[in-house]
Amino acid sequence: MSEKELNPRILGIESSCDETSAAILKGFEVESHIVYSQMIHKKYGGVVPELASRAHEHAISQVVHSAFERAKLTPNDIDAIAVTYGPGLMGALLVGLNYAKGFALAQNIPFISVNHIEAHLYAPMLEFPELEPPFLCLLVSGGHTMLVDVKGIKDFRILGTTRDDAAGESFDKTARLLKIGYPGGPVIDTLSDSGDPKAVKFPRSLLEPDSLDFSFSGMKTAVLNYVKKYPDPNDQDKANIAASFQEAVVDVLKEKVRRAIVATGHKQVIIAGGVAANRRLRSELKSMADNMGIDLFYPPLEYCTDNAAMIAATGVMYYRKGWFADLEIGAVPNLKL
């Protein structure tokens, strides 16, 4: 395999939700990584699809230009372009997808379409390029909570998934109930530092004894009922509720990972997705992994949330295998893993 085939220079583009991101990788070496986060959604407590699409249109050219400037490269240096084609918001996906198609045509280079969820599975490789499947992945974000048995690139089996709310979604809803800001994950993570995780006994829904599925809607309802019972909580009360809620979510995620390790026999476990940035989750999983003799991997914080670096990294692996896409491919908002 030639140097170009082994370490192609890939431009990655991500625009599935409320981050406009571009990254340039040579192999797994990140040469530049730009993320424009849309702050306009904060006052609504969630992402407004039409506003997201408009913001992507406004930002994408400058974001890509900034990626080239930071890497000190030009479009002529790129071997292929990789872009998210789903899942996500239709309008948002189309902005990145159409930009990437135009770039590929203009530069006459291969076009690589990437499943956003799959890209999360490979995000830890940006920090640990020597990491290779097989491994167990806990993918936990605002839209997805699942356990995946990763046997190889594009070779995986979903062991368990959420039956209702995703973990990240429950963080957002709890933050909204407490009126402490958006997005909920980082806010609750920070606020929990000053709270007592044992102050409120929230339920841990573990479902059937051998189940690897998740359910967080009951936990969200428990927070709602508690806030209704004790309205107008002061700052310390909010910190206690946040810490207790976070502890309940982490307990469930940790137990499900333990069950999956026992069921599969994997010796390598990765966590990925926005909630993988949660400090309590990282700490508890690390302790459990050490006790079980398991190697735990997770991406740097900047690659936990939606980002183009993981899209480009997936593009690198596809390029090595010659897996390119047709320019006729469309956006698939409900794309599955």
Kindly give, in sequence order, each residue whose CB lies less than 8 Å from that of residue 142, ignoring residues fewer than 6 positions away.
Answer: 166, 168, 169, 171, 172, 183, 185, 274, 275
User: What are the CB-based long-range contacts (under 8 Å, 24+) for 222-227?
Assistant: 223/173, 223/174, 223/177, 223/178, 224/177, 226/200, 226/202, 227/177, 227/178
Instruction: Compute the distance between CA of residue 8 and CA of residue 80 in angstroms, rounded to an integer.
Output: 8
Give the pLDDT of residue 39: 59
What is the band of 62 on the pLDDT scale with cuts at 50, 70, 90?
A: very high
- Determine contact, residues 13/67, Cβ cutoff 8 Å: no
Instruction: Compute the distance between CA of residue 68 and CA of residue 61 in angstroms, rounded to an integer.
Output: 11
pTM value > 0.85:
yes
Q: Choose among 142, 13, 134: nearest CA to 82.
A: 13
- Determine contact, residues 237/185, Cβ cutoff 8 Å: no
Kindly give, in sequence order, each residue whose CB lies less than 8 Å from that of residue 14, ignoring residues fewer than 6 positions away.
Answer: 20, 21, 22, 83, 84, 96, 116, 306, 307, 308, 310, 311
Give the pLDDT of residue 17: 85
Mind listing the pLDDT tens digit for each residue in 63-116?
999 999 999 999 999 999 999 999 999 999 999 999 999 999 999 999 999 999
Give the pLDDT of residue 142: 77
Same fold, 3-125+303-321 and 129-298: yes
Instruction: Please name every residue paired with 25 in a beta bridge, in sequence order, or none if there are none.
Output: 10, 30
Instruction: Kindly compute the dihedral angle of the four CA atoms of residues 296, 297, 300, 303, in this order, to the nearest 10 degrees.
Output: -130
Instruction: Compute the distance between CA of residue 267 and CA of residue 49 in angstroms, rounded to an integer.
Output: 40
Q: What are the domain boundaries of the chain?
A: 3-125+303-321, 129-298
Mind listing the pLDDT tens digit for each residue in 265-300?
999 999 999 999 999 999 999 999 999 999 999 999
CATH architecture of 129-298: 2-Layer Sandwich (3.30)
- The full length of the chain comes to 337
Topology classification of domain 3-125+303-321? Nucleotidyltransferase; domain 5 (3.30.420)
Percent of the chain with pLDDT over 70: 97
- The values of phi and psi at residue 101, to 5°, are -60, -45
Instruction: Compute the distance between CA of residue 82 and CA of residue 103 in angstroms, rounded to an integer.
Output: 10
Give the pLDDT of residue 1: 73
Give the pLDDT of residue 195: 97
Instruction: Compute the distance between CA of residue 169 and CA of residue 143 in angstroms, rounded to an integer.
Output: 7
Mind listing the pLDDT tens digit for each residue in 167-202?
988 999 999 999 998 889 999 999 999 999 999 999
Give the pLDDT of residue 38: 66
Mean of pLDDT over the chain: 93
